[in-house]
């Protein structure tokens, strides 16, 4: 609870610091505050603060997810020191809005009440609608913000309708009470309809097909650091919230069958469409959709090991994604703003270590052995097979093989000599963050026990 309060206060403090006009103190202040919040979350330090067990529950699952999201946000803010150096206005607002969004993420991992689930989603989402349009003079950024807001509003409407139907059946917002009443009448049509509507809203947040249409445009139009935040922290929080909700419903067959269809469609469309992308941000958007399909398999398994597999997968995926978006920014600057995959050409000659780390990160996303991505996919496949989804697991393995293709395309560009070797300006902090991400995806593969 103390970590949740600290992040809420930290966002306000950053806004006031922005009035000073000294943007150099923003990132250090945010990082120190987030580290303190992470320590509080990990140790459970809660000096005399009231607990709300019927609203929030800070158990082992929420603690691990919260610490992971805080750690990823710290990495992004370290990247932000260099990223926002060229930005003169509204830097404090960017940091503050991401911290406020993180506060919503902390609620999503810890809620025990549907009202808190709603608050968590809205606190997570509303800052993102603003951040997606962070490039005020960019048409693409404004379009991304408008599309995200418009589609997010529809998702919220579905969500509220679903909550209303569930409350109408159970007369409670408390997950424990709802779970007990669902077990007594598992096939209640109104409850199934309410659960279906809530699942639609949560599917939108994780970017599952057919609720994925916002992803490519928002990923492309939003500032790169914001895109990285959405692809990592937001996805992690959304899956934690999705898992808690489906645990409450005990996964009725009708809902399970619907999610199974969504999972198959997500795996297929994400991987196949990604093969056609020539713009790196859009490739990462469809790659994210494909990974959503794999994560949905872990959710569908609905076993005691599902949440730990979700945690390992989302955390290692986030580390690889953060590193790749930093490399994208460096290559984009050298290419005068171009975001096509071709900007990676000549990366090995320009900076061999950066090229090798980029290869490791891409191989991890592809699920190649000796990387954390391989271990994560293996755990998901074992969960799915153990739950009886054998055909789905076989299809997912095939889709994982298809997905290797578009990651290898980027690796090929990185190791192909360019006519003119790009001039990459890599700050020590960016070098350190990218290197840490690259080392981590290998270390967590060799010693998975380090995560969790």
pLDDT tens digits for range 173-205: 988 888 888 877 767 889 899 999 999 999 999
Higher pLDDT, 314 or 250: 314
Per-residue DSSP letters for 224-289? HHHHHHIIIIIHHHHHHHHHHHHHHHT--HHHHHHHHHHHHHHHHHHHHHHTT--BHHHHHHHHHH
Q: Looking at residue 110, what DSSP letter applies?
A: T
Residue 261 included in any domain: yes
pLDDT the model gives residue 158: 93
The reply to whether 210 falls in a domain is no
Query: With helix as H, strand as E and coil as C, how does 175-229 read?
Result: HHHHHHHHHHCCCCHHHHHHHHHHHHHHHHHHCCCCCCCHHHHHHHHCCHHHHHH
Dist. CA 313–CA 317, nearest whole Å = 6
**Is 438 a domain residue?**
yes
For 241-266, what is the mean pLDDT?
A: 89
**What mean pLDDT do residues 18-43 have?**
88
Closest CA to 417 of 344, 339, 357: 344
CA-based nearest residue to 329, from 309, 352, 354 = 354
Domain membership of residue 353 as a residue range: 251-452
In a domain, 212, yes or no: no
Torsion angles phi and psi, residue 113, rounded to 5: -145, 140
Residues 6+ apart with CB under 8 A from 91: 18, 23, 26, 84
Q: Does some domain include residue 53?
A: no
Band the pLDDT of 29: cuts 50, 70, 90.
Answer: very high
Residue 325 forms part of a structural domain: yes
Q: Is 427 part of a structural domain of the chain?
A: yes
350 located within any domain? yes
Secondary structure class of 113 (helix, strand, coil): strand
Which is more confident, 247 or 374?
A: 374
How much of the chain exceeds pLDDT 70, in percent? 97
Question: Average model confidence (pLDDT) for the chain?
Answer: 89
User: How many CA atoms within 13 Å lie on the side-chain side of 196?
Assistant: 14
pTM: 0.93
Domain count, the chain: 1
Where residue 336 falls (left for φ over 0; alpha for ψ -120 to 50; beta otherwise) is left
């Amino acid at each position: 609870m103390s970590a949740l309060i600290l992040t809420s206060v930290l966002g306000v403090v950053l806004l006031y610091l922005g009035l000073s006009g000294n943007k150099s103190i923003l990132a250090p202040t945010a990082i120190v505050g987030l580290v303190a919040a992470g320590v509080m979350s990990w140790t459970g330090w809660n000096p005399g603060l009231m607990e709300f067990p019927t609203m929030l529950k800070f158990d082992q699952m929420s603690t691990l997810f919260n610490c992971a999201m805080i750690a990823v946000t710290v990495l992004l803010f370290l990247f932000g020191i260099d990223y926002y150096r060229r930005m003169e206005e509204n830097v404090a607002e960017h940091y503050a809005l991401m911290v406020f969004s993180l506060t919503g993420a902390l609620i999503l991992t810890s809620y025990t009440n549907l009202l808190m689930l709603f608050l968590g989603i809205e606190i997570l989402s509303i800052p993102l609608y603003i951040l997606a349009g962070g490039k005020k003079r960019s048409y693409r950024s404004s379009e991304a913000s408008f599309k995200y807001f418009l589609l997010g509003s529809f998702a919220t409407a579905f969500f509220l309708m679903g909550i209303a139907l569930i409350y109408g059946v159970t007369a409670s917002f408390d997950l424990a009470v709802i779970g007990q009443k669902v077990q007594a009448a598992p096939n209640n049509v109104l409850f199934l309809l309410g659960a279906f509507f809530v699942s639609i809203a949560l599917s939108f947040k994780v970017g599952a097909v057919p609720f994925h249409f916002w992803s490519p445009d928002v990923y492309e139009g939003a500032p790169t650091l914001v895109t990285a935040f959405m692809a990592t922290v937001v996805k992690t929080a959304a899956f934690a919230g999705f898992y808690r909700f489906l645990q409450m419903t005990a996964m009725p067959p009708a809902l399970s069958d619907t999610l199974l269809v969504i999972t198959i469609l997500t795996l297929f469309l994400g991987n196949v469409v990604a093969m056609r992308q020539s713009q790196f941000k859009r490739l990462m958007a469809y790659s994210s959709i494909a990974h959503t399909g794999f994560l949905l398999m872990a959710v569908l398994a609905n076993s005691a090991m599902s949440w730990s597999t979700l945690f390992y997968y989302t955390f290692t995926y986030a580390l690889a994604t953060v590193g790749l978006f930093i490399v994208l920014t460096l290559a984009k600057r050298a290419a005068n703003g171009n975001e096509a995959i071709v900007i990676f050409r000549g990366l090995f000659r320009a900076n061999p270590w950066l090229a090798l780390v980029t290869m490791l990160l891409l191989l991890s996303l592809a699920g190649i052995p000796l990387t954390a991505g391989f271990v994560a996919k293996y755990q998901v496949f074992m969960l799915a097979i153990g739950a009886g989804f054998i055909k789905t697991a076989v299809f997912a393995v095939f889709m994982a093989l298809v997905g290797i293709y578009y990651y290898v395309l980027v690796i090929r560009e990185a190791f192909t000599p360019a006519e003119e070797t790009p001039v990459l300006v890599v700050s020590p902090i960016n070098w350190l963050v990218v290197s840490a991400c690259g080392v981590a995806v290998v270390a967590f593969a060799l010693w998975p026990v380090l995560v969790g």
